[in-house]
A and B are shown apart, each in its own frame.
Chain A
Amino acid sequence: MDVTIALFLIQDGIINGAIYALLAVALVLVFAVTRVILIPQGEFVTFAGLSLAAMETGSVPGAVWLLLVLAAAAAAMDAGAALRERSPAKAVRLAAWNLVPAIAIAAAVLAMVPLQLGLGVNIVLCAALIVPMGPYLYRVAFQPLADASVLVLLIASVGAHLALTALGLVLFGAEGYRTSPVVSGSFQIGPLFVTGQSLLVVGATLALLAGLALFFGRTLIGKALMASAINRRGARLVGIPTMLSGRIAFAMAAAIGVVSAVLVAPLTTLYYDSGFIIGLKGFVAAIIGGLGAYPAAVAAALAVGLLEAFSSFWASAFKEVIVFASILPVLLWRSLTSTHGDEED
């Protein structure tokens, strides 16, 4: 291996690592607030990326129908709960609260996509389409299990992943897509060939991480989210509704998924099931960081990206084996250093 190849691999590793860092942060965020280990995080990325690809060709992405179905299910569950309390007025209000935004978004997407208004509008539409799926998914799959153990939530999370991946095939087909880059062009630094999009990946990741730090450090709602993560009962005692925290956390996770998709979709071809492996690598990073610390997760994500880049050079067939096997010693180390976690679960 010469210096050029090494530099190239490092660049590759950093770009991938930046994406994994975003996903790792989303996973840490969701786990901290809701105790859900969000296996379907990667599905947000593929759904956003494939929706964006569909919009580029002027066709309405299938995700519209998924959004409507999720909204209807959430509305039915909220209304059902209100009816069991015998308050029909509340049932109607909650149903509308769930349905109206989804219908409005779907209408906007149906009307605007065929006009092919350009990448900027498409990204906005894509975000409007995918971000609300987060809170709806929380409402439908996880909120009824809010008091369950981490383990039960994890099994439900795996169930959601199974269903969403299968839905991805129905909604987007088996073909892979790549979107056009947000920033085109490229330039040469020494022996290294750098594309504008890859700079954007690193820049946007840094900006998003900084934005998250500001959100949690400066805003009351950000602090409230963090508080629900640190001590759920303490959060309830100051009046923070835990269900709201859950929905916000899932919305943020979906939003991070959209950003990751915008960044990564021009660089690699996305298939309906690519999200799982991408998400899991973010997840390896999140675990190495202990599912609790953001800076550690980001550092670990870079390490995962680099490990992946170099192992694809030396043993490309066993790239995934190496990346996923690397998690086991970390899990073991985490288990041995944490105090009897299983008693509390």
Chain B
Amino acid sequence: MSALLEVGDLSVNYGRVEAVRAVSLAVQSGEIATVIGANGAGKTSLLAAIMGLLPSRGRVVFDGQDLARVPAEERVAMGISLVPEQRDLFGTMSVADNLALGAFRRGRAEIPARLERVYALFPRLEERHRQEAGTLSGGERQMLAMGRALMARPRLLMLDEPSLGLAPLIVRDILQTVSELRDEGVSILLVEQNARAALRIADHGYVMELGAATMRGPAGELAADPRVAEIYLGAAHGMA
């Protein structure tokens, strides 16, 4: 099995600050890889660089093709979609319009079929298809952002903190949907603060600290590693 996405020594700088330091990772076809780590570890910058939204050094190879000179818009056409932390919805447009624009690179003809698929995954969106995106609840926004990304029929779906600010029940639903997508053959790169939930559904995991990938391995092993808990809650007084 060859990797769908290969990232080699990727670094991202903001001025003199190195937000991502020589990170290497791979996402195999049909698996969920997750990057976990505390706030400010550089996870969001990593995804933005893979998407082509941030200038970076190093290598990003998708399906055997080097993406160095490919702008973000073209990466979408190639089959990479990002659901960003801020969701970046078109707030004053309807849910249906948001979804239709998700298929911008696929053309009008594909919209009905994709729409049916997305509504099957998120029936709530169909109920609210005429509502303005800006008036949705947090969970519905996340569904819409994922739905919009899926309209482009991605082969690699990148999710940045899908659980951010959501109640635990909704988080469970959303992560459930993520594993269903994997079972359909969509490869997934999941960035999460909610480490336990992410490692539960992932195949492989990476831990980021201060911009660098410090641990990697099968998700089950990482979940059991006590060092992961320390990264989040500190070790000064030990944990119960």
A and B touch in the complex (CB under 8 A): yes
Task: Indicate which residue in A230, A239, A242 contacts B152 across the interface (CB closer than 8 Å).
Answer: A239
Interface size, chain A (Cβ < 8 Å) = 18
Contact of B84 with A by CB under 8 A: yes
- Which of B74, B76, B104, B149 has most A Cβ within 10 Å? B104
Inside 8 A of B108's CB, which chain A residues have their CB?
220
Contact between B104 and A226, CB atoms less than 8 A apart: no
Tell whether B105 is near chain A: CB-to-CB under 8 Å.
yes
A231 in contact with B88 (CB, 8 Å): yes
Measured between C-beta atoms, what is the minimum distance from B15 to chain A in Å? Answer: 15
Contact A227 B72, CB 8 Å, known A233-B84, A238-B148: no
**Are A237 and B51 touching (Cβ within 8 A)?**
yes
Asked whether A223 and B84 contact (CB < 8 A) given A238-B102, A240-B73, the answer is: no
Q: Mark A226-264, 1 if CB is under 8 A from B, else 0.
A: 110011011111111110000000000000000000000
Q: Are A234 and B104 in contact (CB under 8 A)?
A: no
Q: Smallest CB-CB separation from A221: which chain B residue? A: B104
Q: Give B82's nearest chain A residue, CB to CB.
A: A237
A220, A224, A237, A239: the one contacting B88 at CB < 8 Å is A237
Q: Given that A223-B97, A223-B101 are contacting pairs, would A233 and B76 also be in contact in the complex, using a CB cutoff of 8 Å?
A: no
Q: B224 at the A/B interface (Cβ < 8 Å)?
A: no
Asked whether any CB of chain A lies closer than 8 Å to the CB of B23, the reply is no
Is B89 touching A234 in the complex (CB atoms < 8 A)?
yes
Smallest CB gap from B107: residue in A: A220
A85 within 8 A of B: yes
User: Once the chains are docked, how many angstroms separate the CA of A220 from the CA of B110?
Assistant: 13
Query: Does B92 lie within 8 Å of A220, measured CB to CB?
Result: no
B73 x A239 contact (CB < 8 A): yes
Kindly state the separation between the CA atoms of A230 and B73 in the bound complex, as whole angstroms. Answer: 17
Given A230-B92, A241-B73, do A236 and B104 touch, yes or no (CB 8 Å)?
A: no
- In the complex, the answer to whether A223 meets B100 with C-beta atoms within 8 Å is yes
- In the complex, what distance in Å separates the CA atom of A239 from the CA atom of B72? 7
Is B122 close to A, CB under 8 A?
Answer: no
* B83-118 at interface with A (beta carbon < 8 Å): 84, 88-93, 97, 100-102, 104-105, 108
Q: List 9 A-B contacts (CB under 8 A).
A: A230-B92, A231-B89, A233-B84, A235-B101, A237-B76, A237-B81, A237-B82, A237-B149, A239-B74
Residues of B that sit less than 8 Å from A by CB: 51, 53, 69, 71-74, 76-77, 81-82, 84, 88-93, 97, 100-102, 104-105, 108, 148-149, 151-152
Q: Which 5 A-B pairs have the closest CB atoms?
A: A239-B76, A234-B88, A239-B105, A241-B73, A230-B90
Footprint of B on A, CB under 8 Å? 85, 220, 223-224, 226-227, 230-231, 233-242
